Amino acid sequence: MGSSTPVAAQVSRFYESHPYPPPVDDLDAYRKSWDDRRRRAESHLFWPAEPYRDDRSILVAGCGTTQAAHYALRWPRARVLGIDVSATSIAFTQELKQQYALDNLEVRQLPLEHAAELGETFEHVVCTGVLHHLPDPDAGLRALRDVLAPAGALHVMVYAPYGRAGIYMLQDYCRRLAIGHTDADIRDLAESLKALPLDHPLAPLLRNSPDFTTSAGLADALLHPRDRSYSVPQLVEFLDRAGLEFGRWLRQAPYLPWCGALASAPHHSKLIELTAEEQYAAIELFRGTMLRHSVVAYRKDRLAQNSSVDFEGDAWLRYTPVHLPGTIVVRDRLPPGATAVLINRNHTYTDLYLPIDDRQERLLEKIDGKRTIAEICGQRGERSLARDFFRQLWQWDQIVLDTSAAVVSS
């Protein structure tokens, strides 16, 4: 992996002294936040066409201090393997494994580029915040693709360029001043940032991003020796070169012309003429502040059932809607005609709220994760309303869909 290059050595030293995320020793709240309903939603987000399963094999590549322990806690019946190059991160994870008696977790110090040495494939591969730091991200992604089971799903998070413009400016600034990684360097940097102009492109991030409240977060963002980012078209090409195809965004509403302010802008009609990938690329430019892309990808040659969700034809009537966690119903300051507004608290854009009326609310109340849309909407007269509404709920990240019954019977 080119570990003799000075930058590679710097990256490795960087993570030994600044393990990320800042280590925690209390995962009780995290454990409590995961129940069967939430697991079910997660399973259908990645595998809409497969009946719910909670025993998949999971590889967390570049697991850092906590992520592999998180996965072992949230999927107690799954087998989880965490790998990382940093001995410090591995040691923190081992401590969590012991503290929480995580018998389903294994940890190994291994560069993800060498994942083939594990000698097995995984149904779920998770790699967030890592590939954009590698000397050869293509080689890293290919290595992950090669250990992804044929019906497996890969979850990748990489940095996005436009929202990070202020970060790249400050990274360059720090390089020019030869700012190092010592505690004193980081303290001085945090102090100097208080003098940053209020309208600097970095300023909103300093105010709002939890990453900037800790010295580990500050170092990871501004002093990282190697950091690149991917626009939507670059990400799609990145996946393609590795033998993967785009599945969906982890949270899709920010990328869709049907959601938020663009739904009623004059350009909406032009946007919906574009292919899905062109829409995402245009909307990334329009929103302007996306910091990262979290994507679900599959092998191009995958053996799984079709994972696409389709509201044409009538298969959608056999879909079962499942609520996504983080969704809330708000009832104050409602727009005219609305009885409620639906919000996903994981969205960061304030235009992503979905007003609903009383007929839609009656459909929403019937979602229990068991009934199909046909069972929910009953009479035929309701079907056109139901189709538009459930498509909307899905686009707006309010629900995921268990399409397995439609796949079996089609």
Ligand X SMILES: C[S@@+](CC[C@H](N)C(=O)[O-])C[C@H]1O[C@@H](n2cnc3c(N)ncnc32)[C@H](O)[C@@H]1O
Whether the Cβ atoms of residue 113 and residue 62 lie closer than 8 Å to each other: no
Nearer to ligand X, 129 or 369 (CB): 129
Give contact residues for ligand X (rule: CB under 6 A). 1, 15, 20-21, 62-64, 67, 83-86, 89, 111-113, 128-130, 133-134, 220
Shortest gap between Cβ of 97 and ligand X (angstroms)? 16
Nearer to ligand X, 20 or 390 (CB): 20
DSSP alpha helices (H): ranges in 147-244? 165-176, 183-192, 203-208, 215-222, 232-241
Place of tokens 């965004």: 249
Q: Which is nearer to ligand X, 24 or 405 (CB)?
A: 24
Q: Confirm if 336 and 407 have CB atoms less than 8 A apart.
A: no
What is the nearest approach in angstroms of ligand X to the Cβ of residue 282?
A: 28
Smallest separation (angstroms) from ligand X to the CB of 197: 28
Q: How many CB atoms lie within 10 A of CB 349?
A: 14
1's CB contacts (< 8 A; 6+ apart) are: 8, 111, 113, 114, 134, 135, 136, 139
Q: By C-beta, is 128 or 360 nearer to ligand X?
A: 128
How many Cα neighbours within 13 Å face the side chain of 98?
5
Q: Is the peptide bond before 335 cis (omega within 30 degrees of 0)?
A: no
Q: What is the DSSP letter of 176?
A: H
Toward ligand X, which CB reaches closer, 112 or 342?
A: 112
- Residue 105 pairs in a beta bridge with 80
Choice between 87 and 272, CB closer to ligand X: 87
For 95-139, what is the HEC assignment?
A: HHHHHCCCCCEEEEECCHHHHHHHCCCEEEEEEECCHHHCCCHHH
Closer Cβ to ligand X, 185 or 227, answer by number: 227
* Rounded Cα distance, 293 and 42, in Å: 18
CB 94 to ligand X: min, Å: 14
Tell me the residue number closest to ligand X, measured at CB: 64
CB of 63 to ligand X, least distance (A): 6
Cβ pair 21, 64 in contact under 8 A = yes
Cis check: omega of the bond before 150, within 30 degrees of 0: no
